[in-house]
Amino acid sequence: MTISASARDRIAFIVRDLSRRYLPDGNLHAGETALAKIVAETEDPFKVLISTILSQRTRDEMTEVASRQLFSKYGDPTELAGADLGDVERLIKPVGFYRQKAGQIVKLSRTLLERHAGSVPRTYEELIELPQVGPKTANCVLVYGFGVPRIPTDTHVHRVSNRLGLVRTKTPEATERRLMQTVPMEYWLHINELFIRFGKDLCRPIGPRCPQCSFTRFCRFYPKTKWSREARRRRRKAAKRRA
Ligand code: SF4
């Protein structure tokens, strides 16, 4: 798939602007999502994998607390594979669906020992074969655990990409596929961190803070916001005064 010059320019502009705001030195390890922090502290793909599963349907802050509690006692696949299920549940209780997730991460640790000698595989194809690992989790492990360019896509990345006109999709899965067809690979590694930070900070699901955003010129959602209506009203008033 080829990318038009205008789409390429727009993506470059978006990434440049968001990088200045959220990753000024271009270092993913300086990010503020739970995964970025865990990577900065441990550089361990296993911990990225487990934290990504804990993060499903859970706020970032709770993922961080649960991950820290869990890894303070069970730091590798061997320890977690032999862990007491009740104890794992207690440690990860801050996250949603903690009972279900406790069983999943113990089972996953056993599978890593059986199939991969306790290591986390570093290809998308092998990761996706693991229990509880879907496309988003596999891509998070590749980006944050191994520094392999991919575009993990959660609801923030999905919403922001649609608002900015990078895709026109209905689901995060479709957004992920489309982004990887249209966004030049040089930007993949940072898209998840940048769009999540932007989606929580300015481009919020409800009540986006558009006056602080640099993308009103081409944002598809901006014309539907109160900020746009107010700007149009001001322009009409100014035109009347001049007439
Ligand atoms: S203009 Fe508003 S809705 Fe559009 S990308 Fe910026 S913050 Fe989001």
Give residue limits of the domains in the chain: 5-201, 210-242
What is the rounded CA–CA span in Å between residue 216 and residue 164?
9
> Which ligand 1 atom is nearest residue 213's CA?
6
**Residue holding tokens 């999905």?**
158
pLDDT at 43: 74
Residue 170 clears pLDDT 70, i.e. is over it: yes
Q: How far is the CA of 202 from the centre of ligand 1 (A)?
A: 7
pLDDT at 189: 93
What is the rounded CA–CA span in Å between residue 48 and residue 31?
14
What is the share, in percent, of the chain residues with pLDDT greater than 90? 80
Q: How far is the CA of 167 from the centre of ligand 1 (A)?
A: 15
Could you give the 3-state DSSP secondary structure of residue 233? helix
Task: Give residues with Cβ within 8 angstroms of 167, minimum separation 6.
Answer: 161, 174, 175, 178, 179, 182
Nearest CA to ligand 1 atom 2: 210
The stretch 75-94 carries a mean pLDDT of: 97
Residue 188 clears pLDDT 90, i.e. is over it: yes
What is the rounded CA–CA span in Å between residue 194 and residue 79?
34
What is the rounded CA–CA span in Å between residue 177 and residue 196?
18
Q: 1 or 215, which is more confident?
A: 215
Mean pLDDT of the chain: 92
What is the rounded CA–CA span in Å between residue 187 and residue 125?
22
> What is the CB neighbour count within 10 angstroms for residue 1?
6
Q: How far is the CA of 223 from the centre of ligand 1 (A)?
A: 10
Q: Which CATH code of 3.40.50.880, 1.10.340.30, 1.10.10.10, 2.60.40.10 fits the domain covering 5-201?
A: 1.10.340.30
The stretch 61-82 carries a mean pLDDT of: 95
Q: 30 or 176, which is more confident?
A: 176
What is the rounded CA–CA span in Å between residue 106 and residue 73?
13
Token pair for residue 197?
Answer: 């930070």
pLDDT at 104: 96
Residue 40 clears pLDDT 90, i.e. is over it: no
Residue 167 clears pLDDT 90, i.e. is over it: yes
Residue 86's pLDDT band, with cuts at 50, 70 and 90, is very high
Residue 58's pLDDT band, with cuts at 50, 70 and 90, is confident
* Tens-place pLDDT, residues 45-56: 999 999 999 998
In this structure, which amino acid lies at residue 56? Q
The stretch 145-168 carries a mean pLDDT of: 95
Q: How far is the CA of 48 from the centre of ligand 1 (A)?
A: 30
Could you give the 3-state DSSP secondary structure of residue 146? helix
What is the rounded CA–CA span in Å between residue 67 and residue 197?
20
Token pair for residue 217?
Answer: 């010129």
* Tens-place pLDDT, residues 199-233: 999 999 999 999 999 999 999 999 999 999 999 99
What is the rounded CA–CA span in Å between residue 45 and residue 143?
10
What is the rounded CA–CA span in Å between residue 226 and residue 36?
34
Token pair for residue 103?
Answer: 């069983």
